[in-house]
Structure formats: structure tokens, C-alpha cells
Amino acid sequence: MDIVEVDDSGKVALPHEFLNRLRPHARLHVEVEGTALKLVAVEEEPVRTKEEAEAWARSFREWVAGLDPKAPHLPDEALRRETFYD
């Protein structure tokens, strides 16, 4: 079992021995269980086949083609950064 310590600022330092067991750029989800922290590997998105990607693109294009062309467009003012949070 690896033991880690929380420093005065609340940071957790993990030992190199633990980190060496992970692949580069591994993503971990932190779960809190009482006073314990549990690190769980985040499962990556499955790799899509070319056929799956083409099917997704086809269905997206069909969805776009089915949109109402008479629907109102957003005014240019609505797309300005300053108005995003109004």
C-alpha cells in the first residue's frame, strides 16, 4: 500500500513508484470515500471504426438538412464575447 501525505496547503504528493505504474497522460478520477481518496482510471473513448465515423457523419448531415431554413438566425450582437454572460 502506498502512503501519501497532504501538506499544509492541501496538496497531495504521490510517490514516484506509484506514478511510474501509470501510462503517460493517464487520467484519473478522484472519489471521496469518507476521509479516504480513491483514484480511479478514467476509461478512454472507444476508438471508432471508419464505418462508424462515416455513419455518424451521414446522420449528422441528415439532421442538418432537416433543420428549418426559415428559423431565425442569431444576430451578430449575440455572438460578441461581451454578451455571452448577459
Are 12 and 4 within 8 A, CB to CB?
yes
* Domain annotation covers residue 37: yes
* Domain annotation covers residue 11: yes
* Domain annotation covers residue 14: yes
Q: CB neighbours of 12 closer than 8 A, spacing ≥ 6?
A: 4, 5, 6, 37
The verdict on pTM exceeding 0.85 is no
- What is the pLDDT at residue 56? 92
Domain count, the chain: 1
Q: What is the mean pLDDT of each run of 10 residues along the chain (86 residues)?
A: 79 81 84 84 78 93 91 85 78
* Domain annotation covers residue 28: yes
- What is the pLDDT at residue 65? 92
- What is the pLDDT at residue 86? 62
Which range of residues forms the domain containing residue 25?
5-41
